[in-house]
Structures are given as C-alpha cells and as structure tokens.
Amino acid sequence: MKKFLNLWVLAFFIVSCTTANKGSKDDKKGWISLFDGSTLNGWRAAENPSTFSVENGSIVVHGPRAHLFYEGPVQNHEFKNFIFKAQVMTTPGSNSGMFIHTAYQENGWPSKGYEIQVNNSHTDWRRTGSLYAVQDVKEQIVKDNEWYTEQIEVQGKRITIKINDRTVVDYTEPDSVAVKNAGGKMLSSGTVALQGHDPDSKVYFKDVMIKPLP
C-alpha cells in the first residue's frame, strides 16, 4: 500500500510539473487572440459590413470595399508596440490588407496608420508583405490557395514585416514623417483592421493574434 501511495505521489508530481511548465510557456508567449473563430464579436465593419463573414473558423473577406476594425476589450483596442499576426489565404487575383495604428472610419480607405499588403496575384504590383507605398515588395513570396503567416511587429519607430518567418520589410520611420503626416500615415497608436478591397477579391484570415510589447 505504501509503495502504491509513493508511486501515486510521484506520478502526481510529474504531471503537476509538466502542467506548470506548459502554463509558463503559454504565459511567456504572451499571445492574445482577437478572433474567437465563430463570430465577429469585438470587430466593427465600416461601409459594407456584408463583405465580412465567418466560415469554418476563418474570417472570409469577399465583397465591395469595406474595412473591419478591431474594437474589442484587449488593451481597449489601443495598441502602440506589439506583434500582430494572422494566418492568411488568398484566392487568385485577390487583394486585401492588414492595418496598424489605425482608427474606425465610416467610409473610404483608412487615412490613419499603415497598410500591410495582402496580394499574391492581383494587378497591383505591390505584393504581400509590402508596407504599402512606403517600402514595397515586388516579389511574390507565397502562393494563392495556400495558408501562410503574415506578421507585423511595431517597436518604437521600427516596423518589421515577416512572411512565414522571412523578413521582407524592416523600416524605421524618419522623424520628419510625424511632421508631414500628422494624424495620418504615421506611427502613433491605434487599433488594427482587415481590408475588403473589391468584389472580385476573396481572402481568408484565421488565428488573428496580437502580442503587446513594452
């Protein structure tokens, strides 16, 4: 009986340590999901809300121009330094984007913050990973109809963009931008958003995550 009890205590100790270590790793990663996989709770669509829907655990972007802004509780949707990432899949000829340091805007292309391009075969030559019209990527790095990871890190004045762990943009914003583009295309703080570009584009997003940084 004593031997059995000792074995039980040992087993409990091992399981407890394993669980604790796993929890520590999860906490250390610091990632927070912005999309629950089944609804658009916490998000607010502008202009044409029907452009956005949820299907099989993904946000489907398909319809007239529209933008989907995160307005949920995470940091009161006001982010400054962070890593923002999502699993993305484009269909042939499609265009979309991921916005940072932006704010809800009822109509038109968001005037605040930066757009990071999602485009593998659309007629626009700026390809996936471009810091749109600031530091553009001409090379097609990933293919349509395949999931890939698009990640944007903002730290101070520096923006780093990775596609499947490959760094495609490393940009440091000059101080002059804050004077020239006050309140517009510049780093400040704000929310994130997804873009519906046009009725012929269909793009999927899932595992939409953010990791706040100091």
57 in the same domain as 15: no
25 in the same domain as 72: no
101 in the same domain as 149: yes
Q: First and final CA of the chain: distance in angstroms?
A: 53
Residue 192: name the closest of 94, 3, 59 by CA.
59
User: What pLDDT score does 72 carry?
Assistant: 98
Give the Å distances, CA to CA, from 147 to 26, 36, 37, 86: 24, 19, 16, 10
User: What pLDDT score does 18 carry?
Assistant: 41
115 in the same domain as 65: yes
User: What pLDDT score does 21 carry?
Assistant: 38
Give the range of the structural domain holding residue 179, as residue numbers without chain letter.
31-212
Determine the 3-state secondary structure of 19 from DSSP: helix
Tokens of 124: 């626009």
What digits encode the pLDDT tens for the residues 36-90? 999 999 999 999 999 999 999 999 999 999 999 999 999 999 999 999 999 999 9
126 in the same domain as 51: yes
Residue 162, domain CATH: 2.60.120.560
Mean pLDDT by 10 residues, the chain (214 residues): 42 40 49 98 98 99 99 98 99 99 98 98 98 98 99 99 98 88 89 98 99 98
Measured distance CA(129)–CA(137) in Å, rounded? 6
118 in the same domain as 21: no
90 in the same domain as 171: yes
**Structure letter (DSSP) for residue 151:** E
40 in the same domain as 15: no
User: What pLDDT score does 16 carry?
Assistant: 41
119 in the same domain as 21: no
92 in the same domain as 69: yes
The residues, any chain, with a CB within 8 Å of residue 192's CB and separated by 6 or more, are 34, 69, 70, 79, 84, 98, 99, 100, 102, 210
User: What pLDDT score does 143 carry?
Assistant: 98
In this structure, the strands spanning 43-46 and 148-155 are: unpaired
74 in the same domain as 9: no
Residue 199 phi/psi, 5° resolution?
-65, -20
State how many domains the chain has.
Answer: 2
Residue whose pair of structure tokens reads 């790095």 in the numeric block: 141
104 in the same domain as 14: no
